[in-house]
């Protein structure tokens, strides 16, 4: 998703596809900017402790240096007002984890003249709205919806199937936890997972 001065949003229902493609769209947008000149900055959520704390790492192994933060409101303080004022573009990865996403994007684009590139999940594993990603669509100049390939049949995958029995909304993981699936295999897969959970709960109660 691009918010400008611009906001560009890249969203997806599949965590593996979105993470794997989040940085490359940002990289394409950043191509005309000078990294060494300090005109571009990447931010990711500090909740994602996989791979490298100081880099966005895709599932393909590509690395992009970034600043890991708990909230976006602290970004300006972290880099300093002078460095912030020199920025042309700010990229935000794992945007669903930032509660202050809307306020930050609105101010940075409308008042500070920044181009904001946002990548994140639009829905969780239950296909419910995830964080504030959908809230910033009205701010965006453009929105790109990503899909993957269903691991079970090869069709276009719009959804994420969680393979573990955890039920919390925020569960950071890769292919060990999630898999991209089409609508048919999402529905059937959720049925199998829910049935297995009920059997497990009954066994625990009997024990």
Burial of residue 28 (number of CB atoms within 10 Å: 0-12, 13-18, 19+): exposed
Please identify which residue in the block is written with the tokens 């999630």.
178
Q: What total number of domains does the chain contain?
A: 1
Residue 95 lies in a domain: yes
For residue 103, give the 3-state DSSP assignment: helix
Predicted pLDDT at 35:
46
- What is the per-residue pLDDT across 170-191, written as a single tens digit (0 to 9) for each? 887 777 888 899 999 898 887 7
Q: What is the mean pLDDT of the chain?
A: 80
Contact yes or no for 151/180 (Cβ under 8 A) = yes
The residue that leads in pLDDT, 15 or 74, is 74
CATH assignment of the domain containing 17: 3.40.50.300
Residue 29 lies in a domain: yes
Q: Is the pLDDT of residue 151 over 80?
A: yes
Give percent of the chain above pLDDT 70. 71
- What is the per-residue pLDDT across 79-119, written as a single tens digit (0 to 9) for each? 999 999 999 999 999 899 999 999 999 999 999 999 999 99
Nearest one of 138, 90, 87, 155 to 117, comparing CA atoms: 90
Residue 183 lies in a domain: no
Provide the domain limits for residue 66. 2-146
For residues 138-156, give the mean pLDDT. 91
Predicted pLDDT at 73:
96
What is the DSSP secondary structure assignment for residue 129, as one 8-state letter?
Answer: B
Cα–Cα distance measured from residue 81 to residue 69, given in angstroms and rounded to the nearest whole number: 17
Active site residues: 94
Residue 180 lies in a domain: no
Q: Side-chain half-sphere of 188: how many Cα atoms within 13 Å?
A: 7
């Amino acid at each position: 998703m691009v918010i400008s001065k611009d906001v560009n949003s890249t969203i997806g229902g599949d965590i593996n596809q979105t993470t794997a493609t989040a940085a490359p769209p940002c990289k394409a947008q950043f191509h005309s900017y000078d990294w060494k000149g300090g005109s571009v900055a990447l931010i990711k959520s500090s909740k994602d402790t996989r791979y490298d704390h100081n880099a966005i790492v895709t599932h393909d192994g590509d690395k992009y240096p970034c600043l890991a933060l708990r909230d976006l409101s602290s970004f300006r303080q972290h880099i300093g007002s002078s460095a912030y004022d020199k920025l042309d573009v700010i990229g935000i990865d794992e945007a669903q984890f930032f509660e202050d996403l809307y306020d930050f994007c609105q101010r940075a684009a409308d008042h500070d003249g920044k181009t904001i590139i946002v990548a994140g999940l639009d829905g969780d594993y239950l296909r419910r709205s995830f964080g504030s990603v959908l809230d910033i669509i009205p701010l965006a100049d453009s929105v790109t919806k990503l899909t993957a390939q269903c691991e079970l049949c090869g069709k276009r995958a719009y959804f994420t199937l969680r393979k573990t029995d955890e039920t919390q909304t925020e569960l950071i993981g890769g292919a060990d936890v999630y898999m991209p699936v089409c609508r048919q295999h999402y529905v059937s897969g959720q049925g199998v997972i829910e049935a297995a959970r009920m059997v497990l709960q009954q066994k625990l109660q009997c024990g």
